Amino acid sequence: MLSVQLYSVRDQLAADRPATLARLAAIGFRHVEPFGLGSPDRTSAERLAAARSLRADLDAAGLAVSAVHAGLPGDIAELEEECAVLGADTAFIPHPRLVRGFGEETFADPGQLDAFAETLGAAAESAVSLRLGYHNHWFEWARLPDGTTGYDRFWRRTSARLLAELDVYWAVAAGADPASVLAELGDRAVALHLKDGPAEPGAPQTPIGTGRVDVRGVLAGSPSIRWHVVEIDTADLDPFDLLATNAATLVSDGRTTWS
């Protein structure tokens, strides 16, 4: 089932959120994946007020939430409250820096990595109304002194309750094989981020089927994964046009549905 990561239209959201959400709905999207929850720069009251405001705009556009991208506050219950406002039952941590005490270098340091895995695993175990997961970029595949990768060590060391959202594009950028990664993750993988292009950090992304990422092959090999999230990090094309093209391609292939 299709969703769209709202980071794809972050500038448009900042300028006019109701109009941006309405345009996504007009393309055909019925689900979105918001970002920015669990912000350490806001108080709990401010985060809840922001979630209520976003929920009102989503309701007006006829959009529901598939999952969210969020930081990890000191108390997981605070993130559960935010997600409940939005009707979301799953939150993915999209970067180590959104967990206090960690950063991008975490995946290159075995000690830090083990501590990070323990922190997220403990949060996943303690959550009551929320499923917690992790979303990758490319740096997680840093080579460790023992020859393994940070990504592999992380999933071996953390709780089985922690879920995965595999960003297929960034896995390819890291030199990983998405099919093999999904096979290792098994049923912990519940969502995919889908986009195409040269699979290089900072390079503009392009329509699905025109770059290095075998999106169709990944979907064919992972029929049990529910959420197919289209996203754009950076592109020369109009983001709405690119999102519409990518979504239409996936639906016409029969690999996913609007709802």
> What's the DSSP call for residue 149?
B
With CA atoms as reference, report the closest residue to 64 among 42, 88, 31, 24.
31
Instruction: Provide mean pLDDT across the span 207-228.
Output: 96
Where b means 16+ CB within 10 Å and e means fewer, 165-193 reads: bbbbbbbbbbebebbebbeebeebbbbbb
Which residue shows structure tokens 């029969």? 254
Which pLDDT does position 255 carry in this prediction?
A: 84
With CA atoms as reference, report the closest residue to 99 among 56, 54, 18, 38.
38
Residue 48 reports pLDDT greater than 90: yes
Instruction: Provide mean pLDDT across the span 166-175.
Output: 98
DSSP letter string, 11-48: HHHHH-HHHHHHHHHHHT--EEE---BT-TTS-HHHHH
Contact present, 78 and 42 (Cβ < 8 Å): no
Confidence of residue 3 (pLDDT cuts 50, 70, 90): very high
CA-to-CA separations, 178 to 195, 199, 255, in angstroms, rounded: 13, 13, 16
CA atoms within 13 A of residue 93's CA, in its CB half-sphere: 27
Instruction: Provide mean pLDDT across the span 223-235.
Output: 97
Instruction: Provide mean pLDDT across the span 160-169.
Output: 98
Residue 12 reports pLDDT greater than 90: yes
Which pLDDT does position 1 carry in this prediction?
A: 97
Average pLDDT over the chain reads 97
Which pLDDT does position 41 carry in this prediction?
A: 86
Tell me the percentage of the chain whose pLDDT exceeds 90.
97
Tell me if residue 10 falls in helix, strand or coil: helix
Q: Rounded CA gap, 82 and 100, in Å?
A: 19
Which pLDDT does position 40 carry in this prediction?
A: 85
Which residue shows structure tokens 């209520």? 52
Confidence of residue 218 (pLDDT cuts 50, 70, 90): very high
Which pLDDT does position 252 carry in this prediction?
A: 94
Q: What pTM does this model have?
A: 0.97
Predicted confidence (pLDDT) per residue in 73-122, tens digit: 989 999 999 999 999 999 999 999 999 999 999 999 999 999 999 999 99
Confidence of residue 51 (pLDDT cuts 50, 70, 90): very high
Which pLDDT does position 178 carry in this prediction?
A: 97
Q: Rounded CA gap, 89 and 229, in Å?
A: 16
Which pLDDT does position 206 carry in this prediction?
A: 98
Which pLDDT does position 18 carry in this prediction?
A: 98
Contact present, 30 and 228 (Cβ < 8 Å): no
Which pLDDT does position 253 carry in this prediction?
A: 87
